[in-house]
Amino acid sequence: MKSDTTAESAAADGTSAARKVFVKTYGCQMNVYDSQRMADSLALEGYAETSSMQEADFVLLNTCHIREKAAEKVYSELGRVRAVKAERAGRGLETIVGVAGCVAQAEGREILRRESAVDLVIGPQTYHRLPGALRRALDGHRIVETDYAVEDKFDHLPKPGRAGIAARGVTAFLTVQEGCDKFCTFCVVPYTRGSEVSRPVAQIVAEAERLAGAGVRELTLLGQNVNAWHGEGPDGNEWGLGRLLFRLAELPGILRLRYTTSHPRDMSEDLIAAHRDLDVLMPYLHLPVQAGSDRVLKSMNRRHTAADYLRLVERIRKARPDIAMSGDFIVGFPGETEADFQLTLDLVRDVGYAQAFSFKYSPRPGTPGAERSDQVGEGEKNDRLPRLQALLARQQRDFAQQLVGRTVGVLIEKPGRAGQRVGRSPWLQPVIVDESVGGFGEIVDVRVNKAGQQSLFAEPVA
Ligand code: 5AD
Ligand code: SF4
């Protein structure tokens, strides 16, 4: 079922002896996908992946710029990388250090200035040029590649699932859309990932087919604004994400589909119909709302009200009653008062989330929110965030708890401890099954016995 061709064997058929690359990924799932594509392209150059930085000839940090701490973590990690590079140099070993991702895009040359150990800076739109950039770095140049490439990087990156590239299990990400034109006033993404671009239908279907052929059973379609995806279908009509999901659901081997992240403004009728009609589309929706106050939503440029969002959730739940909602929240956006914050808590109580992510507002240089003079104090942010998180944690616990005693389908992903199996529920919860039932990539029915903090515990149903 799985291809056993590894990076080493790719090196054996012609390219240089196996050098090693260590990739560390920060941030969102798209970065995970990008890291895999970069590792794939390096595998074809003879680089094997290692989980030890000390062993690596090439250390690559794939960074995130979404919040303050994300970038700061990268700079402190680079300090550690510098020490490893020096230690390796003492052993007579050369180390190339690269920074990719959204910090690379946003900071560019500044990274070379601030951190002498860095040889190469590469932005998300130029990943297909990584092997060339690495070769030039090995020749002693310091490289910055942050232009928006004119060529389509997906045409030039190695195809996931093809020979010479290691299979990575039964679930996979597939980027279908990148960038964002929404310009929420808190968000750096339109600046780091550029404007919205959709990959063509044929390219997506071909990638999905190859992944299914390599043993993938669950596909998660990715985009910063995934439900804004659109493209011309083989029927000559303009397709939206809903139509694309119908097409991917037909592929042999694909048992589950998911997508993330969505904007409320782009939840089209077609997409809601897909939730109603497609069994393989999992009943889980990550639909960030950010805040519950219309005044704050307006100043965030979200272009919907709290009532719009609640009506939308109602429509989606009518189409798919067992759907679990997930969301993102920001506390302490400029101008947010305690009364505004209470409206966020009200909205959370109205919706009832199965899962959620919440953050203190972090001013991002270059975004309109950062320019405002009515920034909320750190003290207020620190007061609000735990109150919101306590409510969300309670909801997440309640959601897991109501599954106890019920039978659910679990996609078996990997072995667990002592003969157990680990998989996921339709609602994305990790499930630990206490017997080794089912092969990897199969969906088995299990009865949930217990809901833990992070996982469900279950036994097979006879
Ligand atoms: N500050 C805090 N949180 C942010 N997010 C995006 N930008 C910021 C910011 N400047 C959060 C949003 C988004 C998630 C990916 O990160 O909630 O949905
Ligand atoms: Fe972070 Fe956004 Fe870049 Fe993902 S796209 S890595 S969340 S800044």
Ligand in nearest proximity to the CA of 370 = 1
Pocket lining: 28 vs ligand 2, CB cutoff 6 Å: yes
391, 349 Cβ separation under 8 angstroms? yes
Ligand in nearest proximity to the CA of 332 = 1
Whole-number pLDDT of residue 2: 34
Which atom of ligand 1 is nearest the CA belonging to 364?
Answer: 10
Q: For 406-418, how does the pLDDT look when each residue is reduced to its tens digit (9 = 90+)? A: 999 999 999 888 8
| Identity of the residue numbered 347 | L
Q: Residue 455: is its pLDDT beyond 60? A: yes
Q: How far is the CA of 2 from the centre of ligand 1 (A)?
A: 37
Q: Residue 247: is its pLDDT beyond 50? A: yes
SS3 assignment, position 444? strand
12, 48 Cβ separation under 8 angstroms? no
pLDDT-wise least confident of 35-44, 291-300, 327-336: 35-44
Handedness of CA 182, 187, 192, 193 (dihedral sign): negative
198, 233 Cβ separation under 8 angstroms? no
DSSP 8-state assignment for residue 148:
P
Q: How far is the CA of 235 from the centre of ligand 2 (A)?
A: 34
Pocket lining: 173 vs ligand 1, CB cutoff 6 Å: no
Whole-number pLDDT of residue 163: 66
Going by pLDDT thresholds of 50, 70 and 90, the confidence category of residue 17 is low
CB-neighbour burial class of residue 195 (10 A; exposed 0-12, middle 13-18, buried 19+): exposed
Handedness of CA 366, 367, 370, 374 (dihedral sign): positive
Whole-number pLDDT of residue 438: 78
Half-sphere exposure for 144 (CA within 13 Å, toward CB): 13
* Structure tokens belonging to residue 190: 């339109």
Phi and psi, residue 415, nearest 5°? -70, 150
Pocket lining: 27 vs ligand 2, CB cutoff 6 Å: yes
pLDDT-wise least confident of 56-60, 166-170, 204-208: 166-170
Question: What's the mean per-residue pLDDT of the chain?
Answer: 93
**What DSSP letter does each residue of 87-115 carry, written as one string?**
HHHHTT---EEEEEHHHHHHHTHHHHHH-
Handedness of CA 329, 339, 364, 303 (dihedral sign): positive
Pocket lining: 344 vs ligand 1, CB cutoff 6 Å: no
Nearest residue to 283 (alpha-carbon basis) of 348, 354, 357: 354
Whole-number pLDDT of residue 308: 98
Q: Ligand 2, residues 25, 189, 197: which to mutate, most atoms within 8 A of Cβ?
A: 189
DSSP 8-state assignment for residue 361:
-
- Give the list of residues 6+ apart from residue 133 with CB closer than 8 angstroms, or none: 98, 120, 122, 126, 143, 145
281, 274 Cβ separation under 8 angstroms? yes
Q: For 262-288, how does the pLDDT look when each residue is reduced to its tens digit (9 = 90+)? A: 999 999 999 999 999 999 999 999 999
433, 423 Cβ separation under 8 angstroms? yes
For residues 158-175, one letter each, b for 16 or more C-beta atoms within 10 angstroms of the residue's C-beta and e for the rest, the string is bbbbeebbbbbebbbbbb
* Structure tokens belonging to residue 291: 């805040």
pLDDT-wise least confident of 8-22, 54-68, 95-109: 8-22
* Structure tokens belonging to residue 354: 């199965």
Q: Residue 439: is its pLDDT beyond 70? A: yes
Portion of the chain with pLDDT greater than 70, in percent: 95
